Chains A and B, each alone.
Chain A
Amino acid sequence: MATPAQSVPLDTDQPLEIAGKRYQSRLLVGTGKYKDNEETRLAIEASGAEIITVAIRRTNIGQNPDEPNLLDVIPMDKYTLLPNTAGCYTVDDAVRTCRLARELLDGHKLVKLEVLGDEKTLFPDVTATIEAAQILVKDGFDVMVYTNDDPLIARRLEDIGCAAVMPLAAPIGSGLGIRNPYNILTIVENASVPILVDAGVGTASDAAIAMELGCDGILMNTAIAAAKNPVLMASAMKKATEAGREAYLAGRMPKKRFASASSPLDGLFF
């Protein structure tokens, strides 16, 4: 009986390291757009993610003081929380949000910086992003920064001291997939901090492509939360992220224009 080919176990890979902390999972997930906290919890579990993004917003006053708390389903001792600055269009708002998040989470320094420039595309305002990153790095934050897929800007953000640079694959929530793989590749090749694709992934193959390009990880929310079955999609994304990483480590075969027979020509009996 043939024995199955030995797959290269993922534990031969170096773990993802961000701001001095190591993670086994290269998939980071958000917590927006889910039906309820229970669905959020199940999807996070199925994704295997260890870093989980949250948003910082006004607490509801008086209406429902006993409303379920998101942090009950993503306990801080089990997960690394990544508070974001989603919805911020100015440097001030983004910096203020990060400082509130640090207070909220007991001095937690890891944040996801995004400074948006336009409501229709949610593309980053790069000049404001750079300015906010400078302030936050100086203030002691570990900044994972959302940016566009411009290799020069990615490099600049790394030089500022960001802990990770996170180019978009496509507009936030669009599910359009990796629109510019060559730019992502250039960003990865230039980088000495982790590069994570953040935003635009639509389905499992998109996640695999991002990882095959050599990205250190992927951050996604809508691709899982807006699937018909979010928990199943979370599981698919986990596998795709791992498959893409293994394929990257394995090194793909070169592309050729014409066929190359897989069976030998020697020993043909006709």
Chain B
Amino acid sequence: MNITVNGENRSLESEASLAQLLQILGLGDKRIAVEVNRDIVPRSEYGSFKLSENDTIEIVNAIGGG
């Protein structure tokens, strides 16, 4: 399954939930916010949210800014 994560193309070997993707990326325990195809996915739904072919995922966090 091909998806785009933060502008990079990624392939997943099998179907995955959003929670599984975040685990693979090492972000399972990080404070982040996630959009899939421009819709925000609440943190409570990461486990039940199934990713689909060609999904575009944005993962953001807080960094220094003024």
Contacts and interface: CB of A to CB of B under 8 A. Distances in A.
A157 to B, nearest CB: 20
Contacts of B35: 96, 100
A109 to B, nearest CB: 15
Contacts of B40: 99-100, 103
Interface stretch (A53-61, A176-184, A238-246): A53-61
B21 to A, nearest CB: 10
B58 interface: yes
Nearest to B58: A58
A53 B38 CA distance: 24
A54 B31 CA distance: 14
Interface stretch (A3-11, A13-21, A32-40, A228-236): A32-40
Contact of A59 (B38, B43, B60, B64): B60
Interface residues of A, number: 38
Q: Bin chain B's interface residue count.
A: 20 to 34
Contacts, number: 101
Contact of B27 (A59, A86, A199): A59
B26 A59 contact: no
B8 interface: yes
Interface in A27-71: 30-34, 40, 53-59, 61-62, 65, 69-71
Interface in A64-104: 65, 69-71, 81, 83-84, 86, 96, 99-101, 103-104
A129 interface: no
Contacts of B7: 58
Nearest to A219: B66
Interface of B: 5-8, 25-27, 30-35, 38, 40, 42-43, 58-66
Given A58-B58, A62-B26, 19 more contacts: A30-B64, A31-B66, A32-B64, A32-B65, A32-B66, A54-B64, A55-B64, A56-B60, A59-B30, A59-B60, A61-B8, A61-B59, A69-B31, A70-B63, A86-B65, A100-B60, A103-B43, A104-B33, A104-B62
In the A-B complex, the 9 residue pairs with the smallest Cβ-Cβ separation, listed nearest first, are A55-B65, A221-B66, A30-B66, A65-B26, A104-B33, A31-B64, A103-B33, A54-B62, A32-B64
